[in-house]
Structure 1
Amino acid sequence: MLIAPWFTITVLAGIMIAALLAIQRSGQSRYDSLVTELEQTRVALAQTKATCEERSEKKELEITVINASLNREIAERMQTEAHAKKLRKQFELILNSAGEGILGLDTDGNFIFVNTAAALMVGYEPTELIGRSHHELIHHSKPDGSPLHTGECLIQQAYRDGVVHSSSTDVFWTKDGASFPVEYVSTPITENGDIRGAVVVFRDLSAFEP
């Protein structure tokens, strides 16, 4: 079964993915809120300007204030995005140096991160996997070739029930249709009690066969 270094890598990957998702989510939410507020104020100004000059001047002042706030928010968001990119690069360098395959999945089961070792083992470029279903591409069938239904997929169960799942008797499927035996651990990514996805750490067991 998986040993301590695997646990360390799983924790590191989970922290990276959860942090980047949180930064992206919070930044986008605040930005969208300010844009909506600005647009609502502009509409209100257009409706009142013709009938009430005093009101119009007040609305114009509100727009000035909101525009200033929006500009600050845009600048802050750019700084946040730059910081997030720097974090992503640093973590990816670490995770890509690992010999184990590491996958980051969202709650729909789509790839949000694939390290170099994982991509090599399944025969895809990382860019071919991002945003696509892990189950459809690499975990669709059992070792005997029969379909693996989603309800039987231990990887998916991690981001559904919030529990760590593992297996040493499963297979992954490559881009060219071949399969190889794997040992993996699927660990849920959580934030404030909410499940955001899962981190999967795996290795190719065929490398250990006599």
Structure 2
Amino acid sequence: MMKRLPPWLLLTAEFIVFAGLVALLTILDHAAGMKMMVIVICLLTPALLLAVIFTLRYATKEQQNITTNLKKELDAEKREYQTIQAKFDEAIEKRTFELQRVNGALNREIAERIQAEEEVRGLQKQLHLILDSAGEGILGLDNQGRVIFMNKAASLMLGWESEELIGNTHHELIHHTLPDGSTHPVEICPIYMAYRDGLVHYKTGDIFWCKNGTSFPVEYVSTPIRDRGMLTGAVVVFRDMNTYK
């Protein structure tokens, strides 16, 4: 299929042909005379005008075709853009819905966790109030013998504030020496044995040492703490036997 020539090229070719004919007529003027030249010009001028008109109509039609094709391309691109935009909007709407759903679930979980933490704090407060109301001294120990809890009665009897004793090993501070003044080996300490062998140990005729270096006779029971079958520490409940004389 032959490629169409652009209108400007057709017009250029027509004027070149016309100029060539005029040059040819100039030559014929000398050869055949003025009369022949006039006849040829009269014949060529209408033909040239028709060619120009045809070329202009052709150019107009070509321009219309180009405009139509451009419009079709623009319409196709517009439809494609609208399709892409619709898919994009749909994806955003879907993602927004998913985020709202997840955010709602997360907010509910946070609210439930806050409520659970408040309930735990409330229970811990009640437990502390109960333990602080007890007349006996109570110590909570981990499985390394470190103090993790001490009630008010224990603090008063031992002379230690809870902040001073918590985190320290009980045996080194309050149970390091026997009543006869000899060193108390930790291996035979009934409190130590409770969170090692998992048995309840009761002891009387023993002594605990205070912060100021004095001691007092005690009676105590050391009970192991278990969590999911594992020994995690012990609870020691003791009383100052001087108050029961």
| Equivalent-residue separation in structure 2 for 1:77 and 1:88 (angstroms) | 16
Give CA deviations for 1:105-159 in whole Å, capped at 9, x if unaligned: 1111111111110110000111111111111111111112221111011001101
* Aligned amino acid, residue 205 of structure 2: T
Percent of pairs identical after alignment? Answer: 59
TM-score (normalizing by structure 2): 0.55
Partner of 1:131: 167
Q: Which moves more between the two structures, 66-75 or 82-91?
A: 66-75
Larger of the two Rg values belongs to structure: 2
1:104 is aligned to 2:158: no
Higher relative contact order (CA 8 A, sep 6+): 1
Query: What pairs with 1:74-85 in structure 2 (closer than 5 Å)?
Result: 76-85=112-121
Deviations 1:161-204 (A, max 9, x none): 11000100111000001111000000011122111211111000
Please give the root-mean-square deviation of Cα atoms over the aligned residues, in Å.
2.5
Deviation at 1:67, TM superposition (A): 9.0
Residue 226 of structure 2, aligned match among 181, 186, 190: 190
Cα distance, 1:73 vs structure 2: 5.9
Q: Name the structure 2 match of 1:202.
A: 238
Q: How does 1:137-176 map to 2 (within 5 A)?
A: 137-176=173-212
Q: For structure 1, which runs of at least 5 residues remain unmatched after alignment? A: 1-63
- The farther-off stretch of 68-77 and 172-181 is 68-77
The total of aligned residue pairs comes to 150
SS at structure 1 position matched to 2:171: helix
Gaps of 5+ in 2: 1-98
Q: 1:202, 1:94 → 2: CA distance?
A: 16
Q: Does 1:116 align with 2:116?
A: no
Which protein has the bigger helix share? 2
Equivalent position amino acid for 2:117 in 1: E
- Normalised to the residue count of structure 1, the TM-score between the two structures is 0.63
